[in-house]
């Protein structure tokens, strides 16, 4: 995807951030099935997720967008492969999100209320300072 950094330099940056901000909540966006993405490259994404320990990720299937460098590339990862990889990734995301949320059990935190919950209009919903929906 044209990244101008290495895995090692990225992990070094994450380490420096975590050293300076011990309770930092790291999130990321991940596109699955980018043109020419191999199974090995996808596995590297999964292991990087483990190493960083992101608290959440916004995940997407690759889709061609006009005007981007990737639009000139052949979309050669089959849709069924993209979907299967996304499912595997989302399982990992859910696992780490659960771990992150369990740290808040029994705690009182400040929340910016945005209104009623979508699930129950008798319950208020909002976000913590770590951008956790409660």
The β-bridge relationship of strands 111-116 and 124-128 is antiparallel
Instruction: Write the pLDDT tens digit of every residue in 80-128.
Output: 999 999 999 999 999 999 999 898 899 999 999 999 999 999 999 999 8
Residue whose pair of structure tokens reads 């997720």 in the numeric block: 49
**pLDDT of 3 above 90:** no
Provide the pLDDT for residue 95. 97
Residue pair 134/126 in contact by the 8 Å Cβ criterion: yes
**φ, ψ for residue 15, nearest 5 deg:** -60, -45
Q: Under DSSP, is residue 28 helix (H, G, I), strand (E, B) or coil? A: strand
Handedness of CA 20, 25, 29, 32 (dihedral sign): positive
Domain 7-103 in this protein, CATH class: alpha beta
pTM of the model: 0.84
The Cβ of residue 37 has, within 10 Å, a number of other Cβ atoms equal to 19
Predicted local distance difference test score (pLDDT) of residue 1: 65
Specify the pLDDT at position 133: 85
Average confidence (pLDDT) over 14-25 = 95
Task: Say what the pLDDT of residue 130 is.
Answer: 81
Token digits of residue 72 = 């000139």
The domains of the chain are located at 7-103, 108-134
2 pLDDT more than 80: no
């Amino acid at each position: 995807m044209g990244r101008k950094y290495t895995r090692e330099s990225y992990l070094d940056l994450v380490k420096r951030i975590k050293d300076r901000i011990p309770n930092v909540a790291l999130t990321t966006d991940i596109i699955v099935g980018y043109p020419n993405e191999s199974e090995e490259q996808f596995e590297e994404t999964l292991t990087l997720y483990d190493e960083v320990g992101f608290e959440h990720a916004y995940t997407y299937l690759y889709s061609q967008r006009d005007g981007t460098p990737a639009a000139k590339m052949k979309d050669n990862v089959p849709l069924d492969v993209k979907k299967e990889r996304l499912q595997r990734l989302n399982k990992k995301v859910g696992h780490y999100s659960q771990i992150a949320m369990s740290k808040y059990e029994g705690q009182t935190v400040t929340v910016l209320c945005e209104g009623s919950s979508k699930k129950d209009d008798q319950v208020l919903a909002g976000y913590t300072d770590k951008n956790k929906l409660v």
